[in-house]
């Protein structure tokens, strides 16, 4: 039987959950789960547990939610547990060097890209936005840099033509859990080979904010189609029709010679909504109005007449 290491787990959102569950299912000793403090979420701003906290409680794991991980008290608590590894999956805070160095064998991070590509906070979204054909997950030894540590194991994942950041997220979360277990088994078998990253090949995936979902119609139609999928479900792609906000969920690029300015609604069939872009046109397939629900375009247009020549901004 493979060695069952003593683990401190750090994570917060749903992406972290399969990794925590995999550790529990494979018999590793989870000495402590560290997650971010409870925060108000959703429209009602109700204070709710993080996905990791809820999972930890369900599994019977000890859990803490420090407001700061840079205090001597936190370092002392981690050190007292004498863990073999810390495992970090989307915890959401930068670990100080003294904390990284506390476990016997190091701190392992599961990152949702093929490093050194797409370092940063939003690798799944940017992989789709950038129109990549492939991404993946990797395990790495954390150091003081942002996703700069030596890579341990890598698993590739194709990006499907209809993938959103949401659908890709779920597959990568499961794949990340498998890579984590494979990494720990490789340590136990003494077959792990840390590989330094080629920093000259690094690209970045910065955190997205709510305003980053606004559609820039001056971009080519193909790039906009990838963008819409990449910001779905969050922050969501949107534009304005006058003072009304329209949220776009699904689209298709159309190759066409367009002379109208980007953002202009083009003439088409009554159940179509085609918009001029910087190169070609974008056919809007699923949409949501300010206070309505998500609809296929023909149903939306029944209640919202949008004349050709209208300009979205």
Distance CA 167, CA 184 (A): 27
Q: Find the mean pLDDT for residues 236-262.
A: 96
Distance CA 102, CA 204 (A): 28
Alpha helices in 199-276 (DSSP H): 221-230
Neighbours of 125 (CB within 10 A): 28
Q: What is the pLDDT of residues 179-222, one digit of tens each?
A: 999 999 999 999 999 999 999 999 999 999 999 999 999 999 99
β pairing state of 85-89 and 106-111? parallel
Residue 265: pLDDT over 60: yes
Q: How confident is the model at residue 28 (pLDDT cuts 50, 70, 90)?
A: very high
Per the structure block, which two tokens stand in for 263?
A: 């953002």
Q: What is the pLDDT of residue 2?
A: 54
Which class would CATH give 6-201? alpha beta
Q: What is the pLDDT of residues 159-168, one digit of tens each?
A: 999 999 999 9
pTM, rounded to two decimals? 0.95
The percentage of the chain sitting over the pLDDT mark of 90, rounded to a whole number, equals 93
81 burial via Cβ count (<10 Å: 0-12, 13-18, 19+): middle
Q: What is the pLDDT of residues 74-102, one digit of tens each?
A: 999 999 999 999 999 999 999 999 999 99
Are residues 106 and 193 in contact, defined by beta-carbon separation less than 8 angstroms?
A: no
Q: What is the pLDDT of residue 187?
A: 96
Same fold, 6-201 and 213-303: no
C-alpha to C-alpha distances, 171 to 5, 41, 75, 175, nearest whole angstrom: 26, 24, 34, 6
Q: What is the pLDDT of residue 45?
A: 79
Q: What is the pLDDT of residues 98-113, one digit of tens each?
A: 999 999 999 999 999 9
Residue 12: pLDDT over 50: yes
**Which phi and psi (to 5°) does residue 18 adopt?**
-60, -35
Specify the CATH number of the domain 213-303.
Answer: 3.10.25.10
Domain boundaries, the chain: 6-201, 213-303
Q: How confident is the model at residue 1 (pLDDT cuts 50, 70, 90)?
A: very low
**Average pLDDT over all residues of the chain:** 96
Q: What is the pLDDT of residue 20?
A: 98
């Amino acid at each position: 039987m493979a060695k069952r290491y003593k683990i401190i787990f750090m994570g917060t959102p749903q992406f972290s959950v399969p990794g925590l569950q995999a550790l529990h299912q494979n018999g590793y000793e989870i000495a402590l789960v560290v997650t971010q403090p409870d925060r108000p979420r959703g429209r009602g701003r109700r204070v709710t547990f993080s996905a990791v906290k809820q999972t930890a409680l369900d599994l019977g794991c000890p859990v803490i939610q420090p407001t700061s991980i840079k205090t001597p008290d936190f370092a002392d608590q981690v050190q007292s547990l004498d863990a073999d590894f810390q495992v970090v999956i989307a915890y959401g805070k930068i670990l100080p060097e003294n904390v990284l160095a506390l476990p016997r064998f190091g701190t392992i991070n599961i990152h949702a890209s093929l490093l050194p590509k797409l370092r940063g906070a939003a690798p799944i979204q940017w992989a789709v936005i950038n129109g990549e054909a492939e991404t993946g997950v990797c395990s790495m030894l954390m150091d003081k840099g942002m996703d700069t540590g030596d890579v341990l194991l890598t698993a590739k994942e194709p990006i499907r033509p209809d993938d959103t950041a949401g659908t890709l997220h779920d597959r990568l979360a499961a794949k990340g859990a498998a890579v984590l277990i494979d990494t720990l088994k490789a340590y136990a078998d003494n077959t792990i080979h840390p590989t330094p990253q080629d920093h000259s090949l690094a690209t970045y995936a910065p955190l997205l904010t709510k305003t980053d979902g606004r559609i820039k119609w001056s971009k080519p139609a193909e790039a906009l189609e990838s963008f819409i999928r990449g910001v779905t479900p969050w922050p969501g792609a949107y534009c304005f029709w006058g003072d009304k906000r329209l949220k776009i969920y699904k689209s298709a690029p159309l190759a066409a010679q367009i002379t109208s300015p980007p953002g202009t609604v083009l003439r088409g069939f009554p159940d179509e909504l085609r918009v001029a872009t910087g190169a070609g046109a974008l056919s809007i397939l699923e949409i949501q109005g300010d206070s309505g629900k998500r609809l296929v375009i023909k149903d939306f247009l029944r209640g919202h007449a949008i004349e050709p020549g209208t300009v979205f901004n």
